[in-house]
Structure 1
Amino acid sequence: EEFPFVLDCATSITQRGKIEFYDRADKEIPPGWVIGEDGKTRTDTHQILKDLKTGKAALAPLGGIGEETAGYKGYGYAAVVEILSAALQNGKYLKMLSGVEDGKPVPINLGHFFIAINISSFIELELFKKISGDILRSLRFSKKAPEAERIYTAGEKEYLAWLERKDKGAPINQNLQQQIIALKEELGLTQYKFPFEK
């Protein structure tokens, strides 16, 4: 494969960074991503970002809200990640990661865990690569939904975006452009001009 299989995902339907992206674009998030204290879905992006810090809002797990859509599976995955990232190293967890203690901002002491597998202990490396490649190609060329353009495997869209952006740069929405320009002016960096400035 010309690009690696890289599955980088949250155990929730979306991650906080995506909500921040919607906030910078001044858009509401889709229903079902976040629930409030009452257990109902919320879409008020700006307030959600504040309420995530205080526990008045929470990201919905993979599978969504409730057992009918298998939300308990995402909830279970999240618990495994929390245990491996916190309990395994005596780190902070759950609401301790809000970035707020006693009403004051504090550094987020986020834990991590890594697993390394010596593939050749199980199978010859080249054979593993061949079988893995066959699986990924089979997935990409399997029957797609009528409205789907094509089927991607994990890491492929990011690789294609990198190919496009490595020379042209990354797109920045207008709200974020204005925030960057305002910060530049606030810092007195008038000698610099961004490509998106007129």
Structure 2
Amino acid sequence: MERPYMSWNEAKAFMMAAFMKVGVPEKDAAICVDVLLESDRRGIESHGINRFKPFYIDRIIKHIQEPITQIEILKDTPTTAVIDGHNGMGMVIAHTAMKMAITKAKQLGLGMVVVRNSTHFGIAGYYATMATEHGLIGMTGTNARPSIAPTFGVENMLGTNPLTFAIPTDEDFPFVLDAATSITQRGRIEYYARNNQETPAGLVIGRDGTPQTHSKQILTDLVSGKAALTPLGGIGEELAGYKGYGYATVVEILSSALQAGSFLHQLSGVAEDGSNKPIPVGHFFLAINPDFFMGLENLKHTTGEILRQLRASKKAPNHDKIYTAGEKEYLTWLERKDKGVPIGDDLQKEFKQVRDQLKLDFVFSFENRSI
């Protein structure tokens, strides 16, 4: 059964109202909503409005993160900065940090800003493409709640730790590689669980070293430490799982060491008494100005040529198309821009729960009742 669609404007209006009701200032709420909707525009449903209630509204209500974001600049130089987000809204903190990096790169060619004491910031690709909108190369990464086991290990130690790149092209969309350093991320398993689907074998390893596939149980076991995600490449060394493990470690270091931030099990989100506590994640943002090299137009043309030649190369049997990073997301946007955002039964229930809990005067288009 095809899911109904909610218009982008309706989704925006409701989430804006809800964020503001729990204390997020209007300007900050607009940033948060745009990040979430951008994820669904790109078809990355694991990080879009599916996470609106559990990752943001619920955490604010439970005092796990602050609705009002107090950003403190700890160190600022012409090309770098260190900022403390004081457990505010991760999207607002990240947006501020990338804007700073962009400003520095425009002036001096390179800008890097690192963040500590932040919270979940949505899709990393949002901030990398902020740079491409200014004709710059963008890079970003973040650590996260422990969920990846190191190669030859079964304990969840590293976060899914995306390492993200966005590069301008002469095409209608930039090159955007936004991917976790695990085979999959927690959000994908949440999606499987929400749709009563099993997780494919090999994505999650249990404490006994065997693959786990029961999605709802995996979500519980990831928190308790009885299960862990596998790094890119999978279990062991045969398929080069050590490479994903290594890249995840790089992101962990860059998300904590430069800013004297938290890392590994310090990001568990669980206090000694078993209660929930803030998850003080760190991020890094890098902007590169091609005008300080061989120029923006050369970068865009060469990048475009590389992508076109890759897509034009010989196809495998039974495949008639090769994609490059960012292309599928662009095609999803073309398909959804007039339809809106898909909203299944579980998400409809969550939206109604938020509305009723916050006593918002809002009637959804998917409800079978008149205004």
**TM-score of the pair, normalised by structure 2:** 0.50
Alignment of 1:62-73 (within 5 A): 62-73=232-243
C-alpha displacement of 1:183? 4.8
Q: For 2:321, which of 150, 160, 163 is the aligned residue?
A: 150
1:166 corresponds to which residue?
337
How much identity, in percent, do the aligned residues show?
A: 61
Q: 1:158 to 1:73 in 2, by over 3 A?
A: same
Structure 1 moving runs of 4+ over 6 Å = none
Alignment of 1:3-152 (within 5 A): 3-102=173-272, 103-152=274-323
Q: How many angstroms apart in 1 are the aligned matches of 2:235 and 2:300?
A: 37
Q: Deviations over 1:9-58 (max 9, x none)?
A: 10000111111111111211111111111221111111211221232211
Unaligned runs of 5+ residues in structure 2 are 1-170
Q: How many angstroms apart in 1 are the aligned matches of 2:328 and 2:280?
A: 31
Q: How many angstroms apart in 2 are the aligned matches of 1:5 and 1:43?
A: 33
C-alpha displacement of 1:158? 1.1
Would you tell me which structure has more strand in proportion to its own residues? Answer: 2
Q: Deviations over 1:106-132 (max 9, x none)?
A: 121111011222323332321121111
Q: How many angstroms apart in 2 are the aligned matches of 1:57 and 1:74?
A: 18
Q: How many angstroms apart in 1 are the aligned matches of 2:326 and 2:241?
A: 24
Query: CA RMSD, aligned part only?
Result: 1.9
Q: Deviations over 1:103-161 (max 9, x none)?
A: 11012111101122232333232112111100011111112222334111111111111
The range that moved more, 67-76 or 97-106, is 97-106
Unaligned runs of 5+ residues in structure 1 are none
Instruction: Verify the 8 A CA contact 2:355 2:362 in the aligned structure 1.
Output: no
Instruction: Verify the 8 A CA contact 2:184 2:229 in the aligned structure 1.
Output: yes
Instruction: Verify the 8 A CA contact 1:85 1:113 in the aligned structure 2.
Output: yes
Q: How many angstroms apart in 1 are the aligned matches of 2:318 and 2:194?
A: 29
SS of the residue corresponding to residue 330 of structure 2 reads: helix
| One-letter code aligned to 1:135 | I
